[in-house]
Amino acid sequence: MRHKVGVIGAGNVGGTLTQRLVESGWADVVLLDIADDFARGKAFDLEDSRMILGNAGNVMATSNYAALSGAEVVVITAGLARQQGMSREDLLKKNAAVVKGVTAGIMAHCPEAVILVVTNPLDILTNLILRESKLPPSRVIGMGGLLDASRFANLISKELNVTADDIRAMVIGAHGKQMIPLPRYTTVSGIPLTELLAANKLKTLLQLTVDRGAEIVALLGRGSAYYAPSAAAFSMVKAVLNDEQKIVPSCVYCSGVYGVSGVCIGVPARLGIRGVEEIVELELTPEELECLKAAAETVKNAAERL
């Protein structure tokens, strides 16, 4: 039996995530979008590749939330993509309205699912979806930290001329300008990054990581990144459905860890079949802890205003 996954939003992130899931062979996907014909076109195109791919999953396109019944994980990618010159906060009002409607649809037809949030501004909307769904906090997860960590790892691999496979990166905080890359907890074949790069070079890489999303938006000219975001979402869906017990930087609800309470923010979390199995509390420097608390406060204030 294949797993059943719902993907809401058939745009670049949702469509590419659906492709990754279908091609994996272990998941059937319901691709849901208000633009029914657009979603069907992507689904038909994916279906037409199954003879070539072999053991591919099935994909169904719809605008009807009832089709999500039985989905184990639902990924929310619906909403506007960030455009050049637009901050994540600029997206908030429009995308908040979108995800409130999406959350209502999910809760009406598959209230047992784990929800993975990809829509930006990610941290604020993860808090909104947790509030609107009234789900246990373990079953609402935001994707941003893994994407940021992967970007950090890519930049490290280029700087050191090593394969990215050897790198394990850690980024906490908010998905945006208040992200906090952690060089002490980032390793290359087990060697801490702080032992491989000088402080000035580290500072440059940290800033490049923070700016990476905006850089891609500027280069594209229209729209935002989707290959890496869909890869991060795929990895997190897989960690949940396959009960991998994998530690992943994720936007999750904190109730006292790191001195943060009452808000979803990016921290290391162990993901498994129940969603968030555990939040891993790292030993942070006073400066790192202060930055994390500041990011959490910013997100919490925005979520409360919303």
Active site residues: 175
What is the spatial distance between Cα 75 and Cα 141, in angstroms, rounded to a whole number? 10
What is the spatial distance between Cα 171 and Cα 146, in angstroms, rounded to a whole number? 8
What is the spatial distance between Cα 231 and Cα 53, in angstroms, rounded to a whole number? 19
Spatial neighbors of 204 by CB under 8 A, at least 6 apart, are none
What is the spatial distance between Cα 153 and Cα 110, in angstroms, rounded to a whole number? 35
At 27 the three-state DSSP class reads strand
141 beta partners: 116
As given in the structure block, the two tokens for residue 31 are 């691709």
Spatial neighbors of 298 by CB under 8 A, at least 6 apart, are 174, 178
Residue count of the chain, please give it.
Answer: 306
Helix (H) or strand (E) holding 79: none
Strand 59-62 with 27-32, pairing: parallel
Buried b (16+ CB within 10 A) or exposed e, 69-90: eebbbbbbbbbbbbeeeeebee
Closest CA to 208 of 163, 249, 148, 250: 148
What is the spatial distance between Cα 177 and Cα 159, in angstroms, rounded to a whole number? 22
What is the spatial distance between Cα 286 and Cα 269, in angstroms, rounded to a whole number? 21
